[in-house]
Structure 1
Amino acid sequence: MLTFCCPSLRRPVAALVFFAACLPLSAAGQAPYSESAAAEELTETISQTLDTEPFEGAYWGVHIVNLRSGTVLYSKNAQSNFVPASNVKLLTTAAALDQLTADYRFRTRVYADGPIEDGTLKGNLIVRGSGDPTIGGYEQRDDPTRVFRQWADSLKALGITHISGNIIGDDNRMDDTPLGHGWSWSDISYAYAAEIGGLVFNENTVDLHVLGQEVGQPAKITWEPFDTDYVNVVNRSRTIPWRTEDDEKYQRIMGTNTIHVRTKVHPNREETESITITNPTLYFVHVLREVLLREGISVGGTPADLDETATTVQYDSDLVRPVASYTSKPLRQIVRTLNHESQNLYAEQILRTLAVEVPPQTTEDLKPGSSALGVKSVRKTLAAARVDTSRIQLVDGSGLSRQNLVRPQSIVRLLQYMWTHPAPAASSAFYDSLPKGGQEGTLEYRFQGNAPAHANVRAKTGTLSNTSSLSGYVTSERGTPLAFSIFCNHHLAEGNQVRSAQDVLVNALARLPL
């Protein structure tokens, strides 16, 4: 537990946690506190928590609303703009459920553009991307090539044992810009900054395993899927004695699929890391070709991006016919993974899907299937939630960019809108997508034990350096639903100190006798 002290208040944060847990409760049988009394208690708790020395110079924004009455219980800097980090995912998922519906599914189709004669497909195999982020993704990570093997089974059922042409990926459903606007170049090696595109496999990463050997020797490095030669791994790792500190270092050289591993690892100790690739479309069809070969289907041609070939595909032509497909789970399950795990790639793919499926009317010259056009669709849902969209700035769907600016009040208005959304399926899917305090996802290790908000709060975290956010729902002691948004920007405190302060506030809400 944290024990830093504030010279002015002379109250350690540990005492603040106790203070929040011991807010006065009305006696059994008495009427609940009035909203004004609750607001007074909150004001005291919040000032005692935030006005402490570790947060000197930090900028806090807090907005709390009673969802039953609509009353604002507390507001601090709630109409100022903050960098929201992953709280942007609340906006993306709300817009997707609002406009695409909770039952929306991605459908990826595989086509043949030639006849099948004597077991040979005399032509190309073409995968038409849907932007589905789930193929080989989070729920398939134990077997990322499963869908590809199923496609191989479909081809063999049609009698295909050889493909004379190429394995071609069509990613034209979405804009080709691979990264979000304003993303940092130093992030591009890591899975949270994976490239975006019309075709996605294994979350556009390879999964490295670095196993320590004898001291002084390089570690043994393997990767999934099956040590694919799509990447080139340069092993500069070292096995170090147990008494020395280990260190993980990975770098994918920008614009290439060359990965340098400089990890220091102890003997027989394994470190794992997912490292991004570049050109997701080529990666997709490259691994698909490898799987087909492993499944006994020979391929005469090479993997290729449709844009890099002279091939023109007319999908409604009699010469082009579907031979396999994959349909994703419904959107309600995808956004649950997205928000529980704070999955950036899922958010970016959904943002661009909005641009494709529900393109907004605009006079701006924006690319079809682009993030910028997807942001316009998000703004449509925000406007329906009575958010002043002229006062926010959105540039991506995940919150990885520091150029996003959102108000705490705007987040809470969106939470209110989704709480009473006219489509119950959208409302429940949005609520269920948020991890439960002390039990799930990014909140698994917060609000644990006897914390008042344990298994009660449902909220989305957000973290960048010097930035932390937490927004969602919590129920008061007497069952009143509350919506809250807590932002902290420009802090120099340790991340766990900021999170502890946020938790104090949410636990105080859960103890309110409303």
Structure 2
Amino acid sequence: MLVVGAGKTAVAQPATEPQSTRAYIRSVVTDTIEAAPYTGALWGIEVTNLETGERLFQHNPDHLFTPASNAKLLTAAAALRRLGPSYRYNTRLYVDGPVRNGVLRGNLIVRGSGDPTLGGYAQRDDPTAVFRDWADSLRAAGITRIEGDILGDDNPFSDVPLGDGWSWNDVPYAYAAEINGLVFNGNTIDLEVRGRQVGAPGRVTWSPFETDFVRVRNQSRTVPRDSTSDEDYERPFSENTFTVRSRIHPNEVQEETLTITEPTKYFTHTLRSVLLREGISVGGQGRDVDDSPLTPRYEADSVRRVGTYRSPPLREVVQTMNHESQNLYAEQLLRTLAVVGPPDTTADDLTEGSAALGALAVRTELSEVGIDTSRVRVVDGSGLSRKNYVRPRAMTRLLVHMWSEAPSDRRAAFYDSLPMGGREGTLEYRFPRGAAARGEVRAKTGTLTGASALSGYVRTPRGTPLAFVIFCNHHLADAEDVRAAQDAIVNALAERPL
């Protein structure tokens, strides 16, 4: 019997008679997924003993499911296999002219590599720190003024800014940030609305330093405390103008991370602003190199490197991606697989730096670990698209490979990238105190409207490791109720001695 409360973790009750492990799991899963909130939903579930390889349970293992953010498991495994856990991005700073009396008689060029981390999670408290370091590098090179422009070279990646099949409704929000060869601050601004006296507009501020790269139209309103507050933001698809229509209580603070468009120009515009603040004057503007008549020749004697930013190693990038379910990190990784050692192909649509070529790289890696990729569709790296499809059986095979067959450094990087139940990331508030799986489960979540997923590893009371995949598609239940069902199944696995 299972007790399920809306928005609460379900708890499996002990069986009244001894049952085999298979019968026990079947009973728990059946009681859970056949509950009224999930009528009409399609479930795909598989549980495997990683010590023996025994398949303990399966339900629709060969059906195709939209995996939502479980797609990041495919991206992570492919990136770790193809690039290695120690891989680092390098974003390089060049000058293309002579320096005379402190004046650079030329341009400053930033050559991107697709790095998603510059100004990212590890630097959220100070996203412009790298730019200030570059100001120090310029001074060390004797440069106090730049006559030309600050040019951004994002050419490693294609110019398609969003994933295939993404919804236009998602465009203003951070989980749908634009993909690009140059990334700063996740290609977002951080906006704050603070309530004032009733009837007055809220006070709107944004960072970094209220950059004039964007315009903000403040149509917010402070409402009485007995009224409903809400958040409402709008940014037209091709503009950097935000309209804030939020309703907010006095002294309430609303915070939202919102996306920008034209990320290369955002990068160079912000870099120029930081250099000016650091006392380095700039005669030109921040521009995309594609809008300039200049084609950088990095091997030329007149072009010299004056600075570099190296990202954290891939193991840390993947950990951030999976702990926080960070979509931009996943999309940048997918396109990196289309640049660094891409698969050989003559197809016209599989161009360097494209999502399609990155998807081919992922499918190639999946094939090499024994997954039938004729039954896998990958169109993005994050799972935000509903065009991705994967079978529970294929996801299980990937989990088994990364646990039992991958080299130790890849295995550790993959396992550590999964948040721990009740402790970290997207699982911090699931599996609360008293839940059997708390601290014993490492798993990746996934959520879209009508689609939910949880896949990973859990240990039984005797320490036996299990791999599990739980997909739910086409549901009309509240997302919290579907998560409760997933958690109930995982808790049951963690309670059963094996």
TM-score (norm 1): 0.94
* Residues 1:289 and 2:280 aligned together: no
Given that 1:25 and 1:513 are in contact with CA atoms closer than 8 Å, whether structure 2 keeps it comes out as no
State the one-letter code of the partner of 1:195: E
Tell me, in whole angstroms, the C-alpha distance in 2 between the residues paired with 1:264 and 1:25: 56
Matched residue SS, 1:218: coil
* Residues 1:385 and 2:345 aligned together: no
Superimposed CA distance per residue, residues 332-380 of structure 1 (whole angstroms, 9 cap, x where no aligned partner): 1111110000000000000101110120122322121111100111112
Equivalent residue number for residue 396 of structure 1: 380
State the one-letter code of the partner of 2:356: A
How much has 1:157 moved relative to structure 2? 1.0
Tell me, in whole angstroms, the C-alpha distance in 2 between the residues paired with 1:302 and 1:17: 54
How much has 1:23 moved relative to structure 2? 5.1
Equivalent residue number for residue 415 of structure 2: 431
How much has 1:51 moved relative to structure 2? 0.7
Given that 2:10 and 2:484 are in contact with CA atoms closer than 8 Å, whether structure 1 keeps it comes out as no
How much has 1:423 moved relative to structure 2? 1.9
State the one-letter code of the partner of 2:76: T
Matched residue SS, 2:323: helix
State the one-letter code of the partner of 2:58: S
* Residues 1:155 and 2:138 aligned together: yes
Stretches of structure 1 lacking an aligned partner (at least 5 in a row): 1-8, 27-32
Equivalent residue number for residue 13 of structure 1: 4
Equivalent residue number for residue 475 of structure 2: 491
- C-alpha distance 310-212 of structure 1, shift in aligned 2 (>3 A): same
Match of 1:471 among 446, 452, 455: 455
Match of 1:22 among 9, 14, 23: 14
* Residues 1:352 and 2:335 aligned together: yes
Equivalent residue number for residue 166 of structure 2: 183
How much has 1:22 moved relative to structure 2? 2.8
How much has 1:94 moved relative to structure 2? 0.6
- C-alpha distance 106-52 of structure 1, shift in aligned 2 (>3 A): same
Match of 2:30 among 31, 47, 53: 47
The number of residues matched between the two structures is 496
* Deviation larger for 217-226 or 419-428: 419-428
Matched residue SS, 1:357: coil
Match of 2:54 among 66, 71, 91: 71
State the one-letter code of the partner of 2:403: W
How much has 1:25 moved relative to structure 2? 11
How much has 1:422 moved relative to structure 2? 3.6
How much has 1:420 moved relative to structure 2? 2.2
Superimposed CA distance per residue, residues 18-75 of structure 1 (whole angstroms, 9 cap, x where no aligned partner): 762535899xxxxxx9xxx211110011101111111101110001111111111000
Tell me, in whole angstroms, the C-alpha distance in 2 between the residues paired with 1:390 and 1:52: 33
Tell me, in whole angstroms, the C-alpha distance in 1 between the residues paired with 2:379 and 2:489: 30
Tell me, in whole angstroms, the C-alpha distance in 1 between the residues paired with 2:9 and 2:254: 36
Given that 2:3 and 2:11 are in contact with CA atoms closer than 8 Å, whether structure 1 keeps it comes out as no
Tell me, in whole angstroms, the C-alpha distance in 1 between the residues paired with 2:13 and 2:229: 39
- C-alpha distance 256-307 of structure 1, shift in aligned 2 (>3 A): same
Match of 1:307 among 277, 283, 290: 290
Tell me, in whole angstroms, the C-alpha distance in 1 between the residues paired with 2:222 and 2:302: 57
Given that 2:9 and 2:430 are in contact with CA atoms closer than 8 Å, whether structure 1 keeps it comes out as no
Given that 2:174 and 2:258 are in contact with CA atoms closer than 8 Å, whether structure 1 keeps it comes out as yes
How much has 1:253 moved relative to structure 2? 1.1
Counterpart mapping for 1:255-270 below 5 A: 255-270=238-253
Tell me, in whole angstroms, the C-alpha distance in 2 between the residues paired with 1:297 and 1:14: 60
Superimposed CA distance per residue, residues 298-342 of structure 1 (whole angstroms, 9 cap, x where no aligned partner): 000111101111002110111100011100110111111100000
CA RMSD in angstroms comes to 1.6
Equivalent residue number for residue 443 of structure 2: 459
State the one-letter code of the partner of 1:105: R
How much has 1:513 moved relative to structure 2? 1.2
Tell me, in whole angstroms, the C-alpha distance in 1 between the residues paired with 2:39 and 2:189: 42
- C-alpha distance 139-479 of structure 1, shift in aligned 2 (>3 A): same
Tell me, in whole angstroms, the C-alpha distance in 2 between the residues paired with 1:127 and 1:438: 41
Equivalent residue number for residue 410 of structure 1: 394
Match of 1:194 among 177, 189, 205: 177
Tell me, in whole angstroms, the C-alpha distance in 2 between the residues paired with 1:241 and 1:178: 41
Given that 2:446 and 2:452 are in contact with CA atoms closer than 8 Å, whether structure 1 keeps it comes out as yes
Equivalent residue number for residue 116 of structure 1: 99
State the one-letter code of the partner of 2:81: D
- C-alpha distance 154-494 of structure 1, shift in aligned 2 (>3 A): same
Superimposed CA distance per residue, residues 87-114 of structure 1 (whole angstroms, 9 cap, x where no aligned partner): 0000000111111000000000000000
Stretches of structure 2 lacking an aligned partner (at least 5 in a row): none
Given that 1:477 and 1:510 are in contact with CA atoms closer than 8 Å, whether structure 2 keeps it comes out as yes
Superimposed CA distance per residue, residues 357-409 of structure 1 (whole angstroms, 9 cap, x where no aligned partner): 12012232212111110011111221122111001111000000001111111
Tell me, in whole angstroms, the C-alpha distance in 2 between the residues paired with 1:70 and 1:374: 31
Matched residue SS, 1:340: helix
TM-score (norm 2): 0.97
How much has 1:418 moved relative to structure 2? 0.6
Equivalent residue number for residue 233 of structure 2: 250
How much has 1:12 moved relative to structure 2? 4.7
Given that 2:148 and 2:284 are in contact with CA atoms closer than 8 Å, whether structure 1 keeps it comes out as yes
Given that 2:193 and 2:205 are in contact with CA atoms closer than 8 Å, whether structure 1 keeps it comes out as yes
State the one-letter code of the partner of 2:130: V
Equivalent residue number for residue 144 of structure 1: 127
- C-alpha distance 247-14 of structure 1, shift in aligned 2 (>3 A): closer
Given that 1:89 and 1:398 are in contact with CA atoms closer than 8 Å, whether structure 2 keeps it comes out as yes
How much has 1:248 moved relative to structure 2? 0.1
Matched residue SS, 1:355: coil
* Residues 1:420 and 2:407 aligned together: no
- C-alpha distance 383-316 of structure 1, shift in aligned 2 (>3 A): same
How much has 1:479 moved relative to structure 2? 1.1
Match of 1:106 among 77, 82, 89: 89
Tell me, in whole angstroms, the C-alpha distance in 1 between the residues paired with 2:419 and 2:182: 28
